[in-house]
Structure 1
Amino acid sequence: MRLFKPRRWKRLTATLTAVVLLAAFVNGWNWLPTGSLTVQRVSSVAAALPVMAPLSGRVLFVSPHPDDETLAAGGILQDVMARGGQVYVVFLTSGDGFEWDARATIRDFTVSHADMLRLGLRRMNEARAAAQALGIPKDHLFFLGFPDQGLTAISLQNYLVPYTSSHTGVNRVPYAGTLAPGRPYTGQELDRQLAAVYDRVKPDTVLAPSVQDGHPDHRTAAYLASRLASQRGEKLYYYLVHGGLEWPLPKGRHDALPLAPPRPTSQGLTWSRYPVTDEQRARQVEAIKAYRSQLMVLGRFMWAFVRQNELLLPAPAEGSPIPPADLGK
């Protein structure tokens, strides 16, 4: 008696082939056709982007979560300091809403509010270690301690009434080492604290998440940072971390490849390549290693940012017309 009929063998073979080709596409295995196409597309899109002039002066990076600064701009921030500039990072949340991260850390499927608060403290310490690897001084870091996955609700529904995090069970900043411990989770308080950081740093340039980012915390941070920068006349550039399904491609670590955006243009503006040196890339790797809790769950995603360049998108100049292609979007 045959275990498999010929038709079943064909189905099984077709399924396995599809899985292997998909894996090649995602991981950039260029010894298979789909992987080769991924590598070729990434290389060609990146090559067509303009190379950005180096940043200098006082640069403030607005980071919704600990690790965004290292993934999106680990090389850029080092380059600013190498040119005599100063780098500051403000972490809006402490990353205390990623339950899979907590599960991996405590090795238990069930997590409590206390577990999530401990995760927030751990990620703040990881951020400090990552900043040290990048060469950013400790006193140039600002932790606000607002809730992960809560920034949108805080800015819209809870501007005046405190928001209670479903992950930690608290409605005010619970962490020591933050800018204003014990202050309520309201949009008004978030605006006040972020403005206080801008006042203290007096940045020449602000790096903020793109409004095209797929994570709601990032989109809300984009609006907050953009509004403040435009009010104060600071130069503004956008970065990207969550660029859509499977971005960035290929997954895993590919040091020799460039980083290409999911779309070369966004809102009528073109992304720019910011070259990264071997030394800067090596220090970025050490900074990524500092985020041990994240690497347990998102390792292949995080390593995909270690490339020949990073990406920035200039904010539109004040009063510039909306490109026709973006009307109605």
Structure 2
Amino acid sequence: MPAPPRFTAADRMLVVAPHPDDETLAAGIAIQSALAAGAAVRVLFATDGDNNPWPQRWLEKRWSIGAAERARWGARRRLEAAQALAALAVDGRVAQALHFGWADQGLTDALMQDDRAVAALAEEIAAFAPTSIFMPALDDRHPDHSALHVMLELAVLRAHTVVQRYCYVVHGGAQAADASADPLRVARKVAAMEAYGSQLALSRRRLGEWLARPERFLALERPRPPELDAVGGLCIPLGLPGRSPWRHEVLLVIAARDMTLRLRGRLPRFAHDGIDVVLTDASAGVAVAARMVDAALRVVPPVAPLGAWAKRHRAGSRIVVFDRTYWHGARDAAPSAAPLVERGVAGPG
């Protein structure tokens, strides 16, 4: 298991949580370690976790949940987050909390819609000047988590800063309990999780198992442009190749020096390898021809990429929140000898 990050009083730790409780589950021990070292700690909650209907129905004894009920639930979860951070305090030092209040279960849409979310994250990174960012991993099965990872990668590129990024997995991580953690810090972490009564009402056993896991973080390398092949193309995995009756679309985000392209294209039902798909960014006036090869997306980007990420995304409403496939980066791809599509069919201007 990788060695846990070490902190000093000069450090500034930014923990980015998609929902209230992710910070405790993923980094409750690490937050205490930073506070004990005298580091400044800030927890950024992207959403209020307000789109969480089943626990709310159970606790409030109601079936219908509208905007007013979701707002009340979000306010409750903000209060729980404050109580959780108080429980993680060390020697009177408490992590700061910042709430963005973005749409719960809507971070993929926020990523693909426009640049506002990325701009807000970049402004926070510039203002707080963290020495380390603890952030969701690309391969977390909750779509809010993996989308937030892509947002943060874009924000770091935009902020033009050098900061160590550590990734954590909440949904899909290892199951083994941690027998080596400091008992006092474990006790504080358990107390912090007890603050989240809204989540424990229906999921105490599952969350208890997650709480007992070791806190594992993947240290990311400094961002660098993806490698292109001899004809200027790149290949990005799309996850499981199996055919599905559900409607899917391909999402592709390309970061360039002065713009970010957010391209998407509809896949036919039972999509298979070898099909072509046109990806468009209507706001930028760009269309790009791509091809699915070996369960990956092969494309010649219309701009020089500083980073690129793609996802095979299930379109429409969902009953089950979690993804079978998640975002992948261009650096996740294995080399392929398959023929590449022609350069983009249209571009700016």
TM-score, normalization by structure 1: 0.63
Deviates more, 1:206-215 or 1:98-107: 98-107
Residue 306 of structure 1 deviates from its aligned partner by 3.1
Residue 308 of structure 1 deviates from its aligned partner by 6.6
Contact 1:281–1:306 (CA under 8 A) maintained in structure 2: no
- Superposition RMSD on alpha carbons, in Å? 2.6
Alpha-carbon distance in structure 2 between the residues aligned to 1:109 and 1:127: 25
Residue 297 of structure 1 deviates from its aligned partner by 1.9
Residue 155 (structure 2) aligns with: 228
Query: Which ranges in structure 2 are unaligned for 5 or more consecutive residues?
Result: 228-329, 337-349
Say whether 1:107 aligns with 2:64.
Answer: no
Residue 248 of structure 1 deviates from its aligned partner by 5.0
SS across alignment from 2:170: coil
SS across alignment from 1:213: coil
Say whether 1:153 aligns with 2:73.
Answer: no
Contact 2:32–2:89 (CA under 8 A) maintained in structure 1: yes
Q: Deviations over 1:188-223 (max 9, x none)?
A: 332232222212211000001000000111011101
Residues 112, 321 of structure 1: alpha-carbon distance in 2 compared, 3 angstrom cutoff: closer
Residue 194 (structure 1) aligns with: 121
Contact 1:248–1:304 (CA under 8 A) maintained in structure 2: no
Say whether 1:54 aligns with 2:13.
Answer: no
Residues 241, 235 of structure 1: alpha-carbon distance in 2 compared, 3 angstrom cutoff: same
1:135-174 matched pairs, under 5 angstroms: 135=89, 140-156=96-112, 158-159=113-114
Residue 195 (structure 2) aligns with: 290
Residue 324 of structure 1 deviates from its aligned partner by 9.8
Residue 131 (structure 2) aligns with: 204
Q: How many residues align?
A: 228
SS across alignment from 2:13: strand
Say whether 1:312 aligns with 2:217.
Answer: yes
Residue 334 (structure 2) aligns with: 327
Alpha-carbon distance in structure 2 between the residues aligned to 1:217 and 1:67: 14
Residue 181 (structure 2) aligns with: 276
Residue 78 (structure 2) aligns with: 124
- Select 2:141's aligned residue among 214, 217, 224: 214
In structure 2, give the amino acid aligned to 1:258: D
Alpha-carbon distance in structure 2 between the residues aligned to 1:139 and 1:52: 19
1:231-242 matched pairs, under 5 angstroms: 231-242=160-171
SS across alignment from 1:222: helix
Residues 121, 233 of structure 1: alpha-carbon distance in 2 compared, 3 angstrom cutoff: same
Residue 225 of structure 1 deviates from its aligned partner by 1.4
Residues 111, 318 of structure 1: alpha-carbon distance in 2 compared, 3 angstrom cutoff: closer
Alpha-carbon distance in structure 1 between the residues aligned to 2:94 and 2:5: 27
Contact 1:88–1:140 (CA under 8 A) maintained in structure 2: yes
Residue 91 (structure 1) aligns with: 45
In structure 1, give the amino acid aligned to 2:87: A
Contact 1:66–1:94 (CA under 8 A) maintained in structure 2: yes
SS across alignment from 2:100: strand
SS across alignment from 2:217: strand
Alpha-carbon distance in structure 2 between the residues aligned to 1:302 and 1:71: 8
Residues 281, 103 of structure 1: alpha-carbon distance in 2 compared, 3 angstrom cutoff: same
In structure 1, give the amino acid aligned to 2:170: V
Residues 328, 242 of structure 1: alpha-carbon distance in 2 compared, 3 angstrom cutoff: farther
Alpha-carbon distance in structure 2 between the residues aligned to 1:309 and 1:224: 26
Instruction: Answer 1 or 2: which has greater strand percent.
Output: 2
In structure 2, give the amino acid aligned to 1:131: L
Contact 1:89–1:142 (CA under 8 A) maintained in structure 2: yes
Contact 1:78–1:135 (CA under 8 A) maintained in structure 2: yes
Contact 2:80–2:195 (CA under 8 A) maintained in structure 1: yes
More contact order relative to length (CA 8 Å, sep ≥ 6): 1
Contact 2:117–2:151 (CA under 8 A) maintained in structure 1: no
Alpha-carbon distance in structure 2 between the residues aligned to 1:132 and 1:99: 26
Alpha-carbon distance in structure 2 between the residues aligned to 1:149 and 1:103: 18
Contact 2:14–2:44 (CA under 8 A) maintained in structure 1: yes
Alpha-carbon distance in structure 2 between the residues aligned to 1:213 and 1:325: 15
Query: Which ranges in structure 1 are unaligned for 5 or more consecutive residues?
Result: 1-48, 160-187, 251-256, 260-274
Alpha-carbon distance in structure 1 between the residues aligned to 2:110 and 2:186: 36
